[in-house]
């Protein structure tokens, strides 16, 4: 039974004069595995985390309250017409843990007439109920106007 070695056999090169031989060993190189499964696992993990965060925020009580407020607000209807879409946009703040429960959402609101505006809604949990503390929108001239009077 013949044992195989991990290194390659010596390579013999004639010297420049042609009379002497010189032995040279090739270094052993490890056979590397492919790293694509690790990269794919990291990408999938990141995608699942992002999906989980988006799902958590969009199914939360403050998000639903904000979207309902925007769709029913008369000032926004006067500005852009009947609301067709409420797309969440940045910044969104909704810390999952903390003594004070606050949330802030920004929406790109698109009316059926294709007019758009940006609406920011600030909420706070008071006595186990989410309440809109303040809300603002940008009018056609770009000025910020309040939707909730404190």
Residue-wise pLDDT tens digits, 89-120: 888 888 766 667 899 999 999 999 889 999 99
What mean pLDDT is reported for the chain?
A: 84
- What percent of the residues of the chain are helix, what percent strand, and what percent coil, each to the nearest 5? 30, 35, 35
Distance CA 20, CA 128 (A): 92
Bridge partners of 119? 107, 137
Cβ atoms 144, 106 nearer than 8 A: no
Q: What is the pLDDT of residues 31-44, one digit of tens each?
A: 767 788 899 999 99
Distance from chain centroid for Cα 89 = 12
Bridge-based pairing of strands 11-14 and 129-138 is unpaired
């Amino acid at each position: 039974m013949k044992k195989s070695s991990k290194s390659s056999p010596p390579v013999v090169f004639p010297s420049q004069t042609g009379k002497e031989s010189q032995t040279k060993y090739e270094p052993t190189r490890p056979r590397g595995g492919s790293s694509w499964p690790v990269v794919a696992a990291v990408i999938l993990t990141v995608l699942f985390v992002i999906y989980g965060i988006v799902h958590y925020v969009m199914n939360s009580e403050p998000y639903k309250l904000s979207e309902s407020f925007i769709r029913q607000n008369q000032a926004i209807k006067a500005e852009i017409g009947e609301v067709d879409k409420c797309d969440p946009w940045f910044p969104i703040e909704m810390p999952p843990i903390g003594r004070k429960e606050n949330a802030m959402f920004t929406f790109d609101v698109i009316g059926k007439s294709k007019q758009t505006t940006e609406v920011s809604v600030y909420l706070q949990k008071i006595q186990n109920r989410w309440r809109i503390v303040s809300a603002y929108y940008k009018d056609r001239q770009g000025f910020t106007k309040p939707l909730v009077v404190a």
